[in-house]
């Protein structure tokens, strides 16, 4: 109660002691380290998510909301895709590399996804696709797996990385 009346007590800033500013992009060597680890661990979903994040350079909110029909038609993954960005409401076109097409094809077949389903569905019944927060946790796990500091990297690092 005494602290309510004491004008000298101030709240700490939310970012005190935290790293603020732009996050680092991944280097080519780091991309390959993560990619190889995901391949060796047979993490089909995460490999497809990682490769698509690098290829598309989409924001996390747009990436997790992709549907199978956005990237694949007639059972094959297309070499290019166009989606409408949530933030800017502008269409963005991106190329899907052969390596990413292969990973996406394997993931779609393994998960038995239909064209109207989300590409990265959630395991929770309340959510149709993984959340951007979950996507952030996955990236943090990838960064830790190659021995980097996860506070220096984030979902935006995937956008800023141009391999």
The pLDDT profile of the chain, 163 residues, written as one tens digit per residue, is 555 666 666 788 777 776 666 778 889 999 999 999 999 999 999 999 999 999 999 999 999 999 999 999 988 999 999 999 989 999 999 999 999 999 999 999 999 999 999 999 998 777 899 999 999 999 999 999 999 998 888 888 877 776 4
Tokens encoding 160 = 């800023």
Output the pLDDT for position 116: 94
Output the pLDDT for position 14: 73
In-domain check, residue 5: no
In-domain check, residue 22: no
In-domain check, residue 131: yes
Tokens encoding 41 = 């661990």
Report pLDDT digits (tens) over 12-36.
Answer: 877 777 666 677 888 999 999 999 9
CA pair distance 86, 104, nearest whole angstrom: 22
In-domain check, residue 114: yes
In-domain check, residue 118: yes
Tokens encoding 25 = 């992009």
In-domain check, residue 14: no
Residue 144: CATH number of its domain: 1.10.443.10
- In the numeric block, the tokens 């190329």 are attached to 95
CA pair distance 153, 113, nearest whole angstrom: 30
Domain containing residue 126 = 27-148
Output the pLDDT for position 52: 96
- In the numeric block, the tokens 């019944």 are attached to 125
In-domain check, residue 60: yes
In-domain check, residue 159: no
The number of folded domains in the chain is 1
């Amino acid at each position: 109660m005494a602290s309510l009346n004491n004008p000298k007590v101030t709240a700490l800033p939310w970012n005190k002691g935290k790293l603020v500013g732009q996050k680092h992009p991944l280097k080519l060597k780091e991309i390959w380290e993560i990619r190889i680890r995901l391949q060796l661990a047979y993490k089909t979903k995460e490999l497809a998510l990682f490769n698509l994040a690098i290829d598309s350079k989409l924001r996390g909110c747009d990436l997790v909301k992709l549907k199978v029909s956005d990237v694949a038609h007639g059972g094959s993954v297309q070499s290019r895709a166009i989606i409408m960005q949530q933030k800017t409401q502008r269409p963005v076109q991106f190329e899907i590399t052969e390596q990413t097409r292969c990973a996406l094809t394997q993931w779609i077949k393994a998960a038995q996804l239909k064209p109207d389903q989300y590409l990265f569905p959630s395991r929770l019944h309340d959510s149709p696709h993984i959340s951007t927060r979950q996507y952030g946790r996955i990236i943090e796990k990838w960064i830790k797996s190659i021995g980097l500091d996860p506070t220096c990297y984030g979902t935006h690092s995937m956008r800023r990385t141009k391999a």
